[in-house]
């Protein structure tokens, strides 16, 4: 398994600069996992790469450093090491908050033992904003599980849930009205427990396994 | 101001593919803001671009679609439209949870009026993991504010707070032991209020402005 390295660059901004960088990385056989560019409208940009490299990354770093556009380069921890796996909680504010309380408390217990689990949330109202947000979880780096926290969800939200589950995401739903619970991996009535169980399901330091449960409604 | 477009591609995987794509984008003068690659070790990868383009994006999309490595291309909402600005809360689990309750409730009120504010958290213990997490906020897309929620924070965490503030991040601290409160923009004693105030400070639909406050300790 090749090592993933984090590289933070300060560079002159403008179209084409990223193309030069990806050329250098491709030449060294580096496999890019993500790129974030901050301040890309300013004269200077901060570019952050995560790259998988077989063997020593130093020759690749030296060639990146040698690009005229690159002003400064440093090696940093990857976001996976710093923030780890992400649980995403979305729905009504009151319930999102209660699920978050459970998930954060449980993540705390795992992170103390050396894991890294983040609990990310957005309160939203309405079928289309929620369906869009469910589908967009598939584009979020490091997202492992989704909790739908509300009192009524169905229609296009249900279709979106089935789509992201097909892409490998674990979906937990509160016990609620609408068709979303029937589409989820797991349905939990108490919001605090829904947060705790979701963290347990994705934690490496937990023995809990959704696939081995005898029932899916709690 | 050029439009930012989201582009989701299914493509054959491997080093060099991203370099071809950035070449097409550079040719059309597109300015790349972020790239995420999922499943980049599998034969097929899902690549998500956010690009700023002056004028019509269709010629760029057509040329991307014409690349032999590209199997499918669709235009999607950018993550800014779906999840919006992010507040990051970190520290001890009990306090992170209470700050999250306040922030999620307040974000709900703004999101109902059409904004998009996310509340993202990680419970962490120890000076170095926290200092690393503070510094890494600068590499997180859409992060606008950071809340430090704990009872004792100082040393390298304080240095990290000063660094990210210098990069334009708003930092709120609970009233706690250690040197972090002295380094923050705003110090709040009640964790729920800390969450509410942080959301107010970054919301477009709020009248609250940290720079205009007569005091910085609440």
Residues B121/B92, Cβ–Cβ less than 8 Å: no
Question: What pLDDT sits at residue A170?
Answer: 97
Positive or negative, the CA dihedral B58, B60, B66, B72 is negative
Task: State percent of chain B over pLDDT 90.
Answer: 82
**What's the whole-model pTM score?**
0.94
Q: Is the pLDDT of residue A71 over 80?
A: yes
pLDDT tens, position by position, A93-151: 999 999 999 999 999 999 999 999 999 999 999 999 999 999 999 999 999 999 999 99
Question: What pLDDT sits at residue B75?
Answer: 95
Q: Is the pLDDT of residue B41 over 80?
A: no
Q: Is B29 left (phi over 0), alpha (psi -120 to 50) or beta?
A: left
pLDDT tens, position by position, B108-165: 999 999 999 999 999 999 999 999 999 999 999 999 999 999 999 999 999 999 999 9
Q: What is the dihedral of CA B155, B161, B167, B169, to 10 degrees?
A: 170
Question: What pLDDT sits at residue B206?
Answer: 79
Name B131's Cβ contacts closer than 8 Å, sequence gap at least 6. Answer: B155, B156, B157, B159, B160
Query: What are the chain B neighbours of A109 within 8 Å (beta carbons)?
Result: 93
Q: Is the pLDDT of residue B1 over 80?
A: no
The C-alpha of A157 sits at a distance from chain B's nearest C-alpha, in angstroms, of: 14
Of residues B80, B73, B57, B88, the one with CA closest to residue B164: B88
Q: What is the mean pLDDT of chain A?
A: 94
Question: What pLDDT sits at residue A206?
Answer: 79
**Residue A40's pLDDT band (cuts 50, 70, 90):** low
Residues B104/B195, Cβ–Cβ less than 8 Å: yes
Q: Tell if the CB–CB gap between B109 and A93 is shorter than 8 Å.
A: yes
The C-alpha of A214 sits at a distance from chain B's nearest C-alpha, in angstroms, of: 31
Question: What is A140-207 written as a DSSP string?
Answer: STTEEEEEEESSB--THHHHHHHHHHHTT-EEEEES-BSSHHHHSSEEESSHHHHHHHHHHHH-TT--
Instruction: Give the residue-averaged pLDDT of A147-163.
Output: 98
The C-alpha of B68 sits at a distance from chain A's nearest C-alpha, in angstroms, of: 17
Question: What pLDDT sits at residue A1?
Answer: 63
Question: What pLDDT sits at residue B115?
Answer: 96
**Residue A15's pLDDT band (cuts 50, 70, 90):** confident
Interface test with B, best of A75, A88, A121, A128 (most B CBs within 10 A): A121
Q: A65 φ, ψ to 5°?
A: -60, -30
Query: What are the chain B neighbours of A100 within 8 Å (beta carbons)?
Result: 97, 100-101, 104, 119, 121
Top pLDDT among A39 and A140 is at A140
Q: Is the pLDDT of residue B40 over 70?
A: no
Residues B131/B156, Cβ–Cβ less than 8 Å: yes
Top pLDDT among A216 and B15 is at A216
Question: What pLDDT sits at residue A81?
Answer: 95
Residue B61 tokens, joined:
């999309």
Question: What pLDDT sits at residue B205?
Answer: 84
Q: Is the pLDDT of residue A211 over 90?
A: no
**Residue B3's pLDDT band (cuts 50, 70, 90):** confident
Query: What are the chain B neighbours of A122 within 8 Å (beta carbons)?
Result: 83-84, 107, 111, 116-119
Q: Is the pLDDT of residue B57 over 80?
A: yes
Q: Tell if the CB–CB gap between A15 and B22 is shorter than 8 Å.
A: no
Chain A to chain B Cβ contacts (< 8 Å): 189
Query: What are the chain A neighbours of B107 within 8 Å (beta carbons)?
Result: 93, 122-123
Q: Which residue in A93, A105, A118 is closest to B104 by CB distance?
A: A93
Instruction: Give the residue-averaged pLDDT of B163-182.
Output: 97
Question: What pLDDT sits at residue A41?
Answer: 63
Neighbouring-strand partners of residue A89: A121, A147
Query: What are the chain B neighbours of A104 within 8 Å (beta carbons)?
Result: 93, 96-97, 100, 121, 123
Q: Which residue in B41, B52, B123 is closest to A107 by CB distance?
A: B123
Tally of CB atoms within 10 A around A54: 12
**Residue B195's pLDDT band (cuts 50, 70, 90):** very high
């Amino acid at each position: 398994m090749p090592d993933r390295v984090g590289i933070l660059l300060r560079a002159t901004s403008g179209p084409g600069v990223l193309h030069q960088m990806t050329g250098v990385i491709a030449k060294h056989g580096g496999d890019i996992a993500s790129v974030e560019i901050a301040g890309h409208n300013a004269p200077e940009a901060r570019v952050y790469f995560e790259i998988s490299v077989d063997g020593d990354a130093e020759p690749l770093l030296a060639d990146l450093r040698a690009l005229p556009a690159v002003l400064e380069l440093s090696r940093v921890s990857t976001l996976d090491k710093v923030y780890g796996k992400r649980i995403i909680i979305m729905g009504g504010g009151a319930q999102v908050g209660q699920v978050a309380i459970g998930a954060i408390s449980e993540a705390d217990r795992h992170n103390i033992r050396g894991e890294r689990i983040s609990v990310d949330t957005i309160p939203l109202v309405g079928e289309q904003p929620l369906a869009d947000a469910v589908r967009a979880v598939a584009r979020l780096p490091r997202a492992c599980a989704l909790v739908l926290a509300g009192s009524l969800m169905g229609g296009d939200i249900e279709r979106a849930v089935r789509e992201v589950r097909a892409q490998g995401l674990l979906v937990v739903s509160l016990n609620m009205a609408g068709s979303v619970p029937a589409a989820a991996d797991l349905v939990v009535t108490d919001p605090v427990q829904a947060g705790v169980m979701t963290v347990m399901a994705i934690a490496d330091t937990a023995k809990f396994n959704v696939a081995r449960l005898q029932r899916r409604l709690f």
